[in-house]
Amino acid sequence: MNTDTTVTRRLGLALPIVQGPFGGGLSSVALVAAVNAAGGLGSFGVHHLRGEQILQTARALRTATERPFALNLWVPLPGEPEHPAVSATQWQRALQRLAPFFDELGLALPQQPDPASVWPDYAQQLEAVLEARPAVFSFVFGIPDARILARCKALGIVTMGAATSPHEARLLEEAGVDMVVATGSDAGGHRVSFTGPPTSLLMGTFSLLPQVRDAVRIPVIAAGGIADARGVAAAMALGADAVQIGTAFLACEESNAGAPHHQALHDANKPATALTAGFSGRLARGLRNELMATLDAHPEDILPYPWQNWLTGVLKQAAIAQNRPDLMSLWSGQAVGLVRHRHVAAFMQSLHMPQDTFVA
pLDDT over threshold 70, residue 359: no
Report yes or no on whether pTM surpasses 0.85. yes
pLDDT of residue 355: 54
H helices of the chain, in order, are 6-11, 29-37, 51-64, 88-104, 115-118, 122-132, 146-155, 166-175, 205-215, 229-237, 247-250, 259-266, 290-296, 307-321, 344-350
Indicate whether 288 belongs to any domain: no
Indicate whether 323 belongs to any domain: no
Residues 49-81 have pLDDT tens digits of: 999 999 999 999 999 999 999 999 999 998 877
pLDDT of residue 353: 67
pLDDT of residue 169: 98
Q: Which of 65-69, 71-75, 233-237, 350-354 has the lowest mean pLDDT?
A: 350-354
* Span 234-239, average pLDDT: 97
pLDDT of residue 101: 98
Asked if 205 and 224 touch (Cβ cutoff 8 Å), the reply is yes
Indicate whether 110 belongs to any domain: no
CATH number at residue 208: 3.20.20.70
pLDDT of residue 116: 76
Indicate whether 41 belongs to any domain: yes
User: Which has the closest alpha carbon to 245: 260, 263, 232?
Assistant: 232
Cis before 306 (ω within 30): yes
Indicate whether 220 belongs to any domain: yes
Asked if 33 and 64 touch (Cβ cutoff 8 Å), the reply is yes
Q: 43: which strand partners?
A: 70
Give me the domain span that covers residue 17. Answer: 6-82+119-265+338-358
Indicate whether 142 belongs to any domain: yes
Indicate whether 62 belongs to any domain: yes
Asked if 24 and 282 touch (Cβ cutoff 8 Å), the reply is no
Number of C-beta neighbours around residue 271 at 10 A: 15
Asked if 265 and 339 touch (Cβ cutoff 8 Å), the reply is yes
Contacts 24+ apart (CB under 8 A), 115-123: 115/83, 116/83, 118/83, 118/306, 118/307, 118/310, 119/48, 119/82, 119/83, 119/306, 119/310, 120/47, 120/48, 120/49, 120/50, 120/51, 121/50, 121/51, 121/82, 122/73, 122/74, 122/75, 122/76, 122/82
- What distance in Å separates the CA atoms of residue 242 and residue 221, rounded to the nearest whole number? 5
Number of C-beta neighbours around residue 48 at 10 A: 19
**In total, how many domains does the chain have?**
1
Which amino acid would we find at residue 203?
M
* Non-local CB neighbours of 288 within 8 Å, separated by 6+ positions: 271, 272, 273, 274
Indicate whether 148 belongs to any domain: yes
Which amino acid would we find at residue 263?
Q
Which amino acid would we find at residue 259?
A
Four-point Cα dihedral 323, 328, 333, 338, nearest 10 = 10
